[in-house]
Structure 1
Amino acid sequence: MPDHGYSLREVQRMLGVSRSVVEKLVAAGFVSPSGERRDWRFTFQDVVMLRTAQALRVAGVTPLKIVRALDHLRKSWGHEGSLTGVRIAAVGDRVAVRDEASHQWDAETGQLLLDFDDKPAASNVASLQAPLAKKTREAATDLFYRARSLEDEDIDAAEAAYREALARAPDYTDASLNLGGILVDTERFDDAIAIYRDALRYRPNDPVLLFNIGVALEDSGRFREALRSYERCVAHAPDFADAHFNAARIHEELGEATKAIRHFNAYRVIMKRQD
């Protein structure tokens, strides 16, 4: 990966959360990005850890338990690269881990678990196993990193590289999200929506994709369609705060006060829970 790492904007896009949520996860100690606050840079491992932490929060695990669990993992698997082979999920109010040897542990206490729930507590509670093993995927990853490095200096070349990455790995969701972001930023909303919807073929009902479809529809003035996408998003991820907030704004603009209040209230509850 390039030395400059992921920017905060890219992390927000990949996780589908607001800047304030990422800042709270950083403040809680889940990761320590390099650089000044205004120019934070995150590693790939940072992104995976933030995604896991956010998913555990959505699943109802308290921030204190998550911090303790991840700290225990770092100490238990202290050698370089050791966390890339473990799977993390919420089991009730605990954080549970399965390692490469299929041992099952309580991440906070280190106790052996005999009844590990194999189903993830949220759709984006991710395995820390690196997903880019095959050569075609590695080539797509190289193109993805090249595209990211080009975004600030040559947006057309960045777009072309993202498209080539998706040609090699059509299910590469991060490439779809970044390409869609470029298309939205350049007001090619229909193209962006097509990219996001194509990505849904590989990750049906993915909340981040549904949220981004909603943003593209909203920016293009199709408010009712945007609302349907935001509603689908929160149906699959009830604690997706930004989707509630955007839906509330649209309902308010359309004069639908009751529906707006419902989403604003949901947004406030979620944000208070994350404090």
Structure 2
Amino acid sequence: MNKRFFKFKNDLSIKSILEYLNISEKIFYKYNSKNINILDFKINQFSSLSNSLDDSLIFLNKSISNNLKDIKGVCLIKIPLQEHNFKNNIVIPSKNPKLDFCNLINEFCIKKEKKSEFVKINNSLISDTSVVGSNFTIGNFSTIDANVKIGNNVIIGNNVSISENCLIGNNVHIMDGVCIDCSIIGNNVTISQNTVIGKNGFGFHSGSPNSHIFFHIGAVKIGNDVFIGSNCNVDRGHIDDTVIGDFVRIDNQVHIAHNCKIGKNSILAGKSATFWIS
């Protein structure tokens, strides 16, 4: 969960999770210590298994043979439970941990948004809470929303949209029609016409009878000295960030799905797709 762009609607306690998932306290305490105060214990973020923290909620969708001694946080885990070492975890039993986890994100997480006034430059609108560096140029009919930070020597074309809280480095060229959301962009980056970066990915639960797209709470991180061609899509991560490393070159009409990590010096040819399988 990238906290620069997302937050909880309200405090999220274990008790509120149990109530939402319709799990009784009796069942919860069957697997956990009676000393856990389910009202006072707060979840501060949603995490992936590889980035679990003491105050985070994670899920385990598959049976695992080894114990959980190196995994932290509150864990939604598939029932029936096998014998595991839950010493470092608070366990919430679930018939479908991934689905429950994603539904909890949909229910309790929202994007950070801030109302602001706008300054008009060249028929474009820039929030008065955003900061731009020296030698900044912007075309017509573009919008920069609240709390965006832009470095020096940045050129923004026409009809560009940059959403709240984005970070853009120095010497960046963003061409006409680009849409940027939930993204952190490094130095010396070129993003060509009509590319979309940081929108919600194509994540849903295929086993659900009425499948709906799950809310994505990761971001997109783009390194330094990156070129992205026109009409590309880079989806933000579902939980962790989608990452494009330094010195990457991406041709036109390339799709990079949520959670992907593109390594340093990679080259992606036109009309290719890079995807992540859960």
Normalised by the length of structure 1, the TM-score is: 0.27
Normalised by the length of structure 2, the TM-score is: 0.27
Q: Where is the strand percentage greater, Structure 1 or Structure 2?
A: 2
> Greater relative contact order: 1 or 2 (C-alpha under 8 angstroms, separation 6 or more)?
1
Larger radius of gyration: 2
